[in-house]
Amino acid sequence: MLKILFIGDIVGSAGRRAAARVLPELRAEYTPNLVIANAENAAGGFGLTLPVYKELTAKIGIQALTGGNHIWDKKEIFKDITAMPLLARPLNYPRCEYGAGYVLLDIEGMRVLVASILGRAFIETPLDCPFQAADNLLRKVKADAVLVDIHAEATSEKKALGFYLDGRVSAVLGTHTHVQTADEQILKNGTAYITDAGMTGARDSNLGMSPEAAQKRFLTGLKAKFDVVETGALLFNAVYLEIDVRGKCARLERLIRRLD
């Protein structure tokens, strides 16, 4: 039995602090043998650097990281990604020569595939079809359990991928909107699904960023620089899931922890 914690977008140092503080307690309660986190906002709210990668993996003990549209925001990732073997950047960037779109792990004798896929609805980047990318990956890589992070804006696109992959993967877990959705469900053929696992970061924030910048954009129509919130109350969002030896989900639970 695979027992997995999947943490929603870790945003900045507040997110890393929240994960470091909550994980020991969750490890005691759920005894997960695999911890995964979305890390596209882990470094200062935008992207991922090598020191932050090391903090999340070596220090906090996260075994696989997934990406998203912000994964390339810190330019040093283009040279450092070769030193980040536990990072799955989005699979469906066309002709992407940097890193890999998935991570393969051996957990208790089970071959576990963790993939990151970006949606296309309301996302301007020209990307390969997420559905075809999933098909191609499943043809190419065989595993006992497959976890797909679908990083997308539109609920309908995420649901479509969930139903499309039902019975062929263990879980389709959404990220990117930074708000946990209450629609977790084990689909008919055994695939765990949630539209968004949520965000791990500063609680008094607009999706991890300072409320003022977003407000200014909406009120004036002018660009305002987003600042990550590093201090104050913390929010931890994740899902816990159990995957049996056939790769089917046996249990799925949303987790929310609030820290001061």
Q: Which residues bind Fe ion (CB under 5 A)?
A: 9, 40-41, 68-69, 176
Q: Which is nearer to Fe ion, 159 or 178 (CB)?
A: 178
| Of the candidates 234, 173, 237, the residue with the CA atom closest to the CA atom of residue 199 | 237
Closest to Fe ion by CB, 119 vs 162, is 119
Least distance (Å) between residue 41 CB and Fe ion? 5
Full DSSP string of the chain: -EEEEEE--B-HHHHHHHHHHHHHHHHHHH--SEEEEE-TTTTTTSS--HHHHHIIIIIT---EEE--TTTTSSTTHHHHGGG-TTEE--TTSTT--SSBSEEEEEETTEEEEEEEEE--TT--S----HHHHHHHHHHH---SEEEEEEE-S-HHHHHHHHHHHBTTBSEEEEESS-S--S--EE-TTS-EEES----BEESSSBTTB-HHHHHHHHHH-S-----B--SS-EEEEEEEEEE-TTS-EEEEEEEEEEE-
Told to judge if 151 belongs to the known catalytic residues of this protein, a careful annotator would answer no
Contact between residue 8 and residue 180 where contact means Cβ atoms under 8 Å apart? yes
Q: How far is the CB of 164 from Fe ion (least distance, A)?
A: 21
Smallest distance, Fe ion to C-beta of residue 67, A: 9
Are 9 and 208 spatial neighbours (Cβ–Cβ below 8 Å)? yes
CB-nearer residue toward Fe ion: 17 or 176: 176
By residue count, the chain amounts to: 260
Min separation Cβ 162 and Fe ion, Å: 18
Q: Report the nearest approach of Fe ion to the CB of residue 110 (Å).
A: 28
| Catalytic annotation, residues | 70
